[in-house]
């Protein structure tokens, strides 16, 4: 394999070293400054927005009486949908054009938590009191929570649309034919649920807005991409994007759920204009658990066929995806699920299809992995079901069917072009680290003895897409006369450590230490273009842009230095020890520092990098669980994770991303599920009810290293932000089912709660009786 | 997440607290640790007109041997119960159960009296005191009365305590340092129990069993206790643990599951208590 230039080993390189995150001292001492913490003078005297939210999942609104609220203490204004002249918006272009979202509900509400009125008060507490006084007369309608029920179109969310089906974008024109599985000795099929989960970032949604005398609006808000959020809000408000400025204070987690703008951002800007004062809005946790977009929510039918020797020949994935009440980014995600359907395997025949349906629930969008984990979970369950059916070891079955190293670049039947990978090696290394054979022997002993605590071993092999969809990113690198450096980036860190990582990349090329480099992001006046941070894209797009800009800056500096030093540019080089341009091979000769050059003329480079395509990181996880077969309680004991995302820029940040990702994957497998009752009432709207894990529910993570560079950029970098989630979740689900497979259990849907595991054991035993 | 407006009083003495309670009756709510009360107020599920804060009354904070019993002031924090030498020696079940309540922050704030007055059927302490056959001491300006825990609860979050009465003391028998067990079954370490079982050996040698989250109040596993008294094996007796229970249905479990789980946990607890 060709070695990308970035990998050529360099003496004293900062790349690949464990630089402690420069952003952490503030987070760990005085704390971050989130949107709601802002004391910006432009927000002086801001009114607080409290949104009156629907307690019903589906109802028509007969009337809204706001008189009593208007007269309550501290209330400056109350607005309803009748007052609001922001045109209802289509929140995702490919959705049914009739499925428009009003910014305040007018005639109908479609999920619990939908905003029906906005109360503006001098103090925040007055808003909650006054909101209680808004009297909404609802006429309840039947809720539709179940996706299959919704597909029947008996209860319609949008009667004007005539259907609950959101899009035809994932449907095929024709069926694959009856002979799809005809040449298979064994065919296994099963319906599985990839349950709805909540991103639950520690910082809930927030936005503040004010209008300047120049007619421009500034919105401080919590998002993963300021520039596209600005464009969305401008579109909703019918404004020129130039008249809108978005500023991002610290953002306390996003996990995909803060991609783009929320309709509330536009509402806050509109309210500010309406009352002629700055306003601020920050939702409560309970509001967040119904108002913020949620993830996954797919019903999948998997069918896998092949021969008894372990050759997988055909795979079919049929998806129903839940869009929630108002279609958003969740509409698009089955595209990734379908593209990644075959996973790491070279399967001759692959077929997939997806329907997306509206239900009277919270809207869905991206959540860590966003469409790819759903594909991985499906194929990895399918592989285990197939292995069980033919009596083959699941790790062996995987190795037999993965794409081989010599097949890269490999175009899959899902339509993806895998850049680089060594999938069998990853499985081998993870299994070796876990002492897979030893674990199987221990499992056999426990089964033999009939222990109450049974051992389960789960394997996953995965590949995913990073930097998909938004390939272009920009960076500006400027050296100042005082020797400091400013980096402007179009990425939007909210925990990813770009302040450190981008400084490392610039430092490497400029020979200026990290502590003299400041990274700025998230102000659309300062950085008008950029795609933000999502889809594990930042390093391979924005990071490479920083690298390229710094390289260009050195070239620019050499051109300028050629005049100063009266030397040919070809004879010059940057001495990274001093940050100066020197004549090659002439120590002691004249030199000029980058800082001095910057003192004469602005030394600044803007670079836009187009990756043109995504990369495909991969890996293998091995999870070990103990299942108490008497109570059904499963405990994750160990997890060995190999996540190969190319060369590692900073092992501290790289491993941190994996830790968080693995935790979220385990959380989905074991604990988390957003539940609505049949009337559409949320049953998991607090952290007491919703199962986010603490450290006590998680094992220590065993990380296995492998670095296979991509060929799509000079640095070899792929993305790692979502890898841990994608790999760990199926490994853990497979492990729990493996622990009780000798009792006849073949599948248990996530989350693998004690009651579900116990019920599965009981049903399997009753079936064999 | 902001409570409805309320008046706040922090009396300096127990008598002053009792006078305030007598004055305001059902309009008042007593605040001690606040870990049960404040969340429901913030969710606006409770909106008391006046909150009487007894959290700093030193008179209610004690653990002492009193005859055949240990007397514990209602305002005693969980943390003080967990580290009590007196309880470790005289009634070791109680600190063991208390150690499983919430997390360290909760245990530094929450009080035994608060947990018992709140009466959450999913709470750990009501069932533990039930297994211990403890006594609740209630006081009002009208006087003081002692109510056996077996007669205290009347339903979910409700008891025989009158609005003007304050729970001032809990009395438990001196059951010693051995012969007890607590099996708590949770989804996450800090969650309320899906089911839990407290077992203690009474001074007369009988084993008494308190069940958490198996009905609208804490319950005793009476059929199991009777079977043990008749000399049945632990396995046989534990299989009867769900008799007379009406466990709830929620995200964490079906009634059927809880009826099964309680037999497993009762067996394990009895085995542990037997040493």
Q: How far is A634 from chain B (nearest CA, A)?
A: 10
DSSP string, A250-304: -----TTTTSS--HHHHHHHHHHHHHTS-EEEE--HHHHHHHS-EEEEEEEEEEE
Give the three-state DSSP class for B30: strand
**Rg of chain A in Å (alpha carbons):** 28
Q: pLDDT by residue (tens digit) across A57-98?
A: 999 999 999 999 999 999 999 999 999 999 999 999 999 999
Question: What are the residues facing A640 on neighbouring strands?
Answer: A622, A702
Q: What residues of B are in contact with residue A286 (Cβ under 8 Å)?
A: 1, 43
List chain B domain ranges: 7-53, 58-173, 181-274
Asked if B157 has any chain A CB less than 8 Å from its own CB, the reply is no
User: pLDDT over 70 for what percent of chain A?
Assistant: 99
Token pair, residue A413, equals 């039947």
Q: What is the topology classification, in CATH, of domain B7-53? A: 3.30.43
Q: Do A286 and B194 touch (CB under 8 A)?
A: no
B residues 198-257 closer than 8 Å to A (CB): 251-254, 257
Find the CB nearest B2 among A128, A631, A694: A128
Q: Do B190 and A683 touch (CB under 8 A)?
A: no
Q: Which residue of chain B has the CA closest to A683?
A: B251
Q: How far is B253 from chain A (nearest CA, A)?
A: 6
The answer to whether residue A115 scores a pLDDT higher than 80 is yes
The answer to whether residue A3 scores a pLDDT higher than 80 is no
Q: How far is B13 from chain A (nearest CA, A)?
A: 32
| Domains present along chain A, CATH in parentheses | 5-31+468-610 (3.30.365.10), 35-141+205-282 (3.90.1170.50), 294-466+614-768 (3.30.365.10)
Q: How far is A69 from chain B (nearest CA, A)?
A: 15
The answer to whether residue A176 scores a pLDDT higher than 90 is no
Confidence of residue A11 (pLDDT cuts 50, 70, 90): low
Q: Which residue from B115, B129, B190 is spatially nearest to B157, judged by alpha carbons?
A: B115
Asked if B158 has any chain A CB less than 8 Å from its own CB, the reply is no
Q: Are A494 and A251 in contact (CB under 8 A)?
A: yes
Q: pLDDT by residue (tens digit) across A719-742?
A: 999 999 999 999 999 999 999 999
A residues 616-635 closer than 8 Å to B (CB): 630-633
Q: To which residue do tokens 């002691």 refer?
A: A588
Q: Do A691 and B188 touch (CB under 8 A)?
A: yes
Find the CB nearest A689 among B1, B190, B251: B251
Distances (CA, A) of A62 to A65, A88, A108, A140: 10, 19, 9, 10
B residues 33-52 closer than 8 Å to A (CB): 39, 43-44
- Compute the distance between CA of residue B201 and CA of residue B178 in angstroms, rounded to an integer: 8
Q: Do A631 and B5 touch (CB under 8 A)?
A: no
Q: Are A363 and A91 in contact (CB under 8 A)?
A: yes
Q: What residues of B are in contact with residue A696 (Cβ under 8 Å)?
A: 188-190
Q: What residues of A are in contact with residue B4 (Cβ under 8 Å)?
A: 129, 132
- Compute the distance between CA of residue A50 and CA of residue A17 in angstroms, rounded to an integer: 47
> What does the pLDDT average to over A420-424?
98
Give the three-state DSSP class for A716: coil
Assigned CATH class of B181-274: alpha beta
Q: How far is A36 from chain B (nearest CA, A)?
A: 15
Q: What residues of B are in contact with residue A697 (Cβ under 8 Å)?
A: 188-189
Specify the CATH number of the domain B58-173. Answer: 3.30.465.10
B residues 180-199 closer than 8 Å to A (CB): 185, 187-192, 194
Q: pLDDT by residue (tens digit) across A516-541?
A: 999 999 999 999 999 999 999 999 99
Q: What average pLDDT does the structure give for chain A?
A: 96
Q: Do B188 and A129 touch (CB under 8 A)?
A: no
The answer to whether residue A5 scores a pLDDT higher than 70 is no
Q: Are A579 and A425 in contact (CB under 8 A)?
A: no
Name the least confident of A99-113, A575-589, B34-48, B149-163. A575-589
Q: Are B131 and B214 in contact (CB under 8 A)?
A: no
A134 φ/ψ sector (left φ>0, alpha ψ -120 to 50, else beta)? beta
- Compute the distance between CA of residue A536 and CA of residue B183 in angstroms, rounded to an integer: 43
The one-character DSSP state at A541 is I
- pLDDT value, residue A12: 77
Q: How far is B104 from chain A (nearest CA, A)?
A: 13
Confidence of residue A8 (pLDDT cuts 50, 70, 90): very low
Q: What residues of B are in contact with residue A688 (Cβ under 8 Å)?
A: 39, 191-192
ipTM confidence: 0.96
Q: What is the pTM of this model?
A: 0.96
Q: How far is B35 from chain A (nearest CA, A)?
A: 12
- Compute the distance between CA of residue A427 and CA of residue A413 in angstroms, rounded to an integer: 22
Q: pLDDT by residue (tens digit) across B143-179?
A: 999 999 999 999 999 999 999 999 999 999 999 999 9
């Amino acid at each position: 394999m060709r070695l990308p230039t970035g990998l050529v080993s360099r003496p004293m390189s900062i790349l690949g070293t464990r630089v402690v995150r420069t952003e952490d001292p503030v987070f760990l001492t005085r704390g971050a400054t989130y949107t709601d913490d802002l004391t910006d003078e432009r927000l002086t005297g801001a009114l607080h927005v409290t949104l009156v939210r629907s307690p019903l999942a589906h109802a028509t609104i007969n009337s809204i009486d706001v008189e009593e609220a208007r007269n309550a203490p501290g209330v400056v204004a109350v607005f309803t949908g009748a007052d609001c002249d922001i045109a209802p918006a289509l929140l995702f272009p490919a959705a049914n054009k009739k499925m428009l979202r009003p910014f305040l509900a007018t005639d109908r509400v479609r999920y619990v938590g939908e905003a029906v009125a906005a109360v503006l008060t001098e103090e925040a507490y007055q808003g909650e009191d006054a909101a209680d006084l808004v009297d909404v007369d609802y006429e309840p309608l039947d809720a539709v929570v179940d996706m299959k029920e919704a597909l029947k179109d008996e209860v319609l969310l949008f009667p004007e649309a005539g259907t609950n089906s959101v899009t035809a974008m994932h449907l095929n024109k024709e069926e694959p034919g009856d002979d799809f599985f005809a040449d298979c000795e064994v065919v296994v099929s099963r319906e599985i649920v990839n349950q709805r989960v909540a991103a639950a970032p520690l910082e809930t949604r927030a936005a503040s807005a004010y209008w300047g005398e120049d007619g421009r609006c500034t919105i401080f808000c919590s998002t993963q991409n300021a520039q596209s959020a600005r464009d969305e809000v401008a579109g909703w408000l019918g404004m020129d994007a130039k008249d809108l400025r978005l500023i991002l204070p610290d953002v306390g987690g996003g996990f995909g759920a803060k991609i783009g703008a929320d309709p509330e951002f536009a509402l806050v800007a509109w309210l500010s204009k309406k009352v002629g004062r700055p306003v601020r809005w920050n939702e409560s946790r309970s509001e967040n658990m119904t108002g913020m977009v949620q993830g996954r929510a797919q019903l999948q039918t998997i069918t896998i066929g092949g021969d008894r020797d372990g050759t997988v020949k055909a795979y079919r994935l049929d998806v129903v995806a839940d869009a929630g009440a108002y279609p958003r980014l969740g509409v698009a995600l089955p595209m990734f699920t379908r593209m990644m359907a075959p996973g790491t395997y070279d399967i001759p025949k692959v077929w997939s299809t997806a329907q997306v349906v509206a239900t009277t629930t919270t809207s869905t969008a991206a959540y860590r992995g966003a469409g790819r984990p759903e594909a991985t979970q499906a194929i990895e369950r399918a592989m285990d079901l197939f292995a069980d059916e033919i009596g083959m070891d699941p790790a062996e079955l995987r190795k037999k069917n993965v794409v081989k190293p010599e097949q890269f670049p490999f175009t899959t039947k899902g339509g993806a072009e895998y850049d680089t990978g060594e999938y069998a090696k990853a499985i081998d290394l993870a299994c070796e680290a876990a002492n897979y054979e030893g674990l199987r022997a221990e499992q056999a002993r426990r089964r033999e003895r009939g222990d109450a605590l049974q051992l389960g071993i789960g394997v996953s092999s995965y590949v995913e897409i990073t930097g998909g969809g938004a390939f272009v990113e920009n960076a500006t690198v400027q050296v100042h006369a005082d020797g400091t450096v400013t980096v402007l980036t179009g990425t939007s860190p909210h925990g990813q450590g770009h302040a450190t990582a981008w400084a490392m990349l610039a430092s490497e090329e400029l020979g200026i230490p990290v502590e003299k480099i400041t990274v700025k992001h998230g102000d659309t006046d300062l950085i008008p273009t950029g795609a933000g941070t999502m889809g594990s894209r930042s390093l391979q797009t924005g990071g490479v842009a920083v690298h390229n800009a710094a390289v260009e800056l050195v070239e620019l500096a050499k051109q300028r230095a050629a005049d100063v030093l009266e030397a040919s540019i070809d004879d010059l080089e940057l001495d990274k020890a001093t940050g100066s341009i020197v004549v090659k091979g002439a120590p002691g000769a004249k030199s000029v520092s980058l800082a001095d050059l910057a003192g004469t003329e602005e030394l600044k480079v803007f670079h836009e990098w187009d990756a043109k395509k995504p990369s495909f990181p991969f890996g293998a996880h091995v999870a070990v669980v103990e299942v108490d077969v008497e109570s059904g309680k499963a405990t994750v004991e160990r997890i060995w994770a190999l996540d190969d995302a190319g060369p590692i820029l900073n092992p501290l940040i790289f491993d941190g991303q994996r830790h968080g990702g693995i935790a979220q994957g385990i959380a989905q497998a074991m604990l988390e599920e957003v539940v609505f009752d049949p009337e559409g009432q949320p049953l998991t709207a607090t952290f007491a009810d919703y199962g986010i894990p603490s450290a006590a529910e998680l094992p220590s993570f065993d990380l296995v290293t492998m670095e296979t560079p991509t060929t799509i950029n000079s640095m070899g970098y792929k993305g790692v932000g979502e890898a841990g989630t994608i790999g760990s979740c199926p490994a853990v689900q497979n492990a729990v089912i493996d622990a009780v497979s000798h009792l006849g259990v073949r599948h248990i849907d996530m989350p693998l709660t004690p009651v579900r595991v116990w019920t599965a054991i009981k049903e399997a035993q009753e079936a064999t009786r | 997440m902001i409570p409805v407006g309320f008046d706040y009083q922090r009396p300096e003495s127990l008598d002053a607290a009792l006078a305030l309670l007598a004055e305001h009756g059902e309009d008042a709510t007593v605040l001690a640790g606040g870990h049960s009360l404040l969340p429901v107020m913030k969710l606006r599920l409770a909106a008391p007109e006046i909150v009487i804060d007894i959290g700093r009354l030193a008179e209610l904070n004690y653990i002492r041997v009193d005859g055949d019993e240990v007397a514990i002031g209602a305002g005693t924090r969980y943390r003080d119960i967990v580290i009590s030498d007196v309880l470790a020696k005289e009634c070791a079940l109680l600190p063991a159960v208390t150690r499983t309540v919430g997390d360290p922050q909760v245990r530094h704030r929450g009080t035994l009296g608060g947990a018992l007055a709140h009466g959450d059927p999913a709470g750990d302490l009501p069932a533990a005191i039930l297994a211990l056959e403890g006594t609740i001491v209630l006081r009002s300006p009208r006087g003081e009365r002692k109510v056996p825990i077996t007669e205290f609860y009347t339903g979910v979050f409700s008891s025989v305590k009158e609005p003007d009465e304050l729970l001032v003391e809990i009395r438990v028998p001196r059951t010693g340092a051995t012969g007890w067990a607590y099996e708590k079954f949770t989804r996450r370490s800090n969650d309320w129990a899906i089911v839990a079982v407290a077992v203690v050996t009474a001074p007369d040698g009988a084993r008494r069993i308190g069940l958490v989250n198996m009905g609208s109040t804490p319950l005793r596993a009476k059929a199991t206790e009777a079977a043990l008294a008749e000399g049945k094996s632990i396995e046989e007796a534990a299989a009867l643990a769900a008799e007379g229970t009406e466990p709830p249905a929620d995200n964490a479990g079906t009634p059927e599951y809880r009826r099964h789980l309680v037999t497993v946990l009762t067996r394990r607890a009895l085995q542990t208590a037997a040493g």
